[in-house]
Amino acid sequence: MQLRILLLVDQIKLRSRVLALLRDVDAFVRAPVAREAAWDTVGQVLSDVLIVCDRVIPEPVEENVRRLTSSANAPDLIVLSGDDDAEDLAILRAAGAEAAIYTGVPDDVIWEAIRLITRKRRELLSKTVAVRRTTPRPGLGDFVSDSPAMQRFMRTVTRVADSDTPLLISGETGVGKERLARAIHNDGRRSDGPFISVNCGAIPENLLESQLFGHEKGAFTGATRAQRGCFELAHGGTLFLDEIGEMPFHLQVKLLHVLQDYEVAPVGSEKKIPVDVRVIAATHRDIREEVEHKRFRGDLYYRLGVVAIEVPPLRERSGDIPALASSIMEGLFARIGRGARRIAPEAMDALCEYAWPGNVRELINVLERAVLLCEEDQIGLADLPAEIAGGREGAPAPRLPGGEDFPDDWIERPLKEIRETAVERFERAYLARLLAATGGRVGETARRAGLEPRSLFNKMRRYGLRKEDFRAPPR
């Protein structure tokens, strides 16, 4: 998190002396000129550490120090005094000041106090933004795969994981874009810094700007106090912008400026705050198509997409399901603390044969439900939803999309031979039903299917589906 320091000193020489010491602190320093260095500005400015000379504090000094340090969200206070009276300095510390220092001491004494207090405050701030997790932190090792497509994908990810270059992750809904972003962060050079996640599509437009860039007190109705934005919270770490394609057009301009200059201007402030952040963005939309239709800024796309990667859907790497399911089961047991820890072979076969339209997110939900409801020491077919369990013992006989009977000869053939045929029949029937429901509107069909329009077009060509065939006839 970006540390904020407020310096209130009305003496020019002392002010310059302290500013020189603060050059070695990784923090945003605000040092108003003498006429603005008034005590009554303290409550109007967000600060983590306040360095103030005793001449600025109004009488009674002790009472005003106590009132400040006992207030909610109070900054750590360092008082610089021109009086070398040990008893007076002790009274200031007893009133709540972290340090009370005579200005006649050498610079290294003042510097040591600043260093210790800013370090303690930074550690406290880091704890407030740290995500408390009982499950293991995801790492790139969790994405080991036997799928050629996934292996190619992970080779690219590994090459860029340890850089600061912006990264754009695309893929269908539920494929695990945020989990991948967390893994990149955890295995990269910024792993000791915070990981801050923002869903650009889940926050109202009028609040998103403040959420990202922060705001000053009084910047808008309801802004009763200043607040940091997510860029400041992610200082030294990674900011994950999920559903970047939903960001309003006017905020895309401001985001572009931040990515170019790495400075943020909180709402209601003219001062820019430097930030050190790696940005990873994600979307289920085809951003190139959004750019073509003027719904997304091309310059922002090129800045975010210096490296652009697409996560393969789960149905294209079903061979990874056993290892993935086992990893999910371990995490569920660690979080829930009870329930089955294994999956029966016939249940695992059912998981591998299912098409997973909801991708990894659906797999996690299915396994969590099974763990909670399972009465045995392992998950069996009876613990899985009927659409996944299929026609095995204890489940209704399976039907293909459109009500077709399951071909009897399929059970005599190896799974590899029929998997592609089954998936194609399912996909074609699903897309045909969805195109009929949307009147052949490709954009709406892609959105509801969780596909990028380009991927949908490719599938339609493959299955001989034409949007014109699904449009309602003119009246």
Q: pLDDT tens digit string along 362-405?
A: 999 999 999 888 888 889 988 898 888 864 444 444 555 455 55
The confidence band for 408, taking pLDDT boundaries of 50, 70 and 90, is low
The confidence band for 454, taking pLDDT boundaries of 50, 70 and 90, is confident
Query: What pLDDT is attached to residue 138?
Result: 83
DSSP state of 54: T
pTM: 0.71
Q: What is the mean pLDDT of residues 25-29?
A: 90
Residue 33, CA distances (Å) to 15, 30, 49 in order:
9, 10, 18
Query: What pLDDT is attached to residue 393?
Result: 47
375: region left, alpha or beta (phi > 0 left; psi from -120 to 50 alpha) = alpha
Query: What pLDDT is attached to residue 396?
Result: 47
Helix, strand, coil content of the chain in percent (nearest 5): 50, 15, 35
CB atoms within 10 A of CB 182: 22
Query: What pLDDT is attached to residue 132?
Result: 46
pLDDT in tens, 162-172: 899 999 999 98
Q: What is the mean pLDDT of residues 61-80?
A: 89
The confidence band for 126, taking pLDDT boundaries of 50, 70 and 90, is confident
Q: Is the pLDDT of residue 134 over 50?
A: no
Beta strand 238-242 with 278-283 is parallel
- d(CA 453, CA 437) in angstroms, rounded, equals 17
Single-letter amino acid, residue 96:
G
DSSP for 132-183 reads P-SSPPP-GGGG--S-HHHHHHHHHHHHHTTS---EEEE-STTS-HHHHHHH
- What beta strand segments (E) does 25-67 contain? 27-30, 49-53
- d(CA 364, CA 328) in angstroms, rounded, equals 7
DSSP state of 227: B
- Across the beta sheet with 278-283, the strand order is 195-199, 238-242, 278-283, 167-170, 307-310
Query: What pLDDT is attached to residue 432?
Result: 86
Q: Which of 414, 359, 366 is nearest to 177 (CA)?
A: 359
First to last CA, the chain: 61
Q: What is the mean pLDDT of residues 278-291?
A: 92
Whole-number mean pLDDT of the chain?
85
Residue 68 C-beta-side C-alpha neighbours within 13 Å: 31
Query: What pLDDT is attached to residue 297?
Result: 94
Give every CB contact of residue 106 below 8 A, 6+ residues apart in sequence.
Answer: none
Q: Are 98 and 78 in contact, with CB atoms under 8 Å apart?
A: yes
Q: Is the pLDDT of residue 135 over 60?
A: no
The confidence band for 439, taking pLDDT boundaries of 50, 70 and 90, is confident
- ω into residue 274 within 30 of 0, thus cis? no
Q: Give the residue, 129 or 68, on which the prediction is more confident.
A: 68
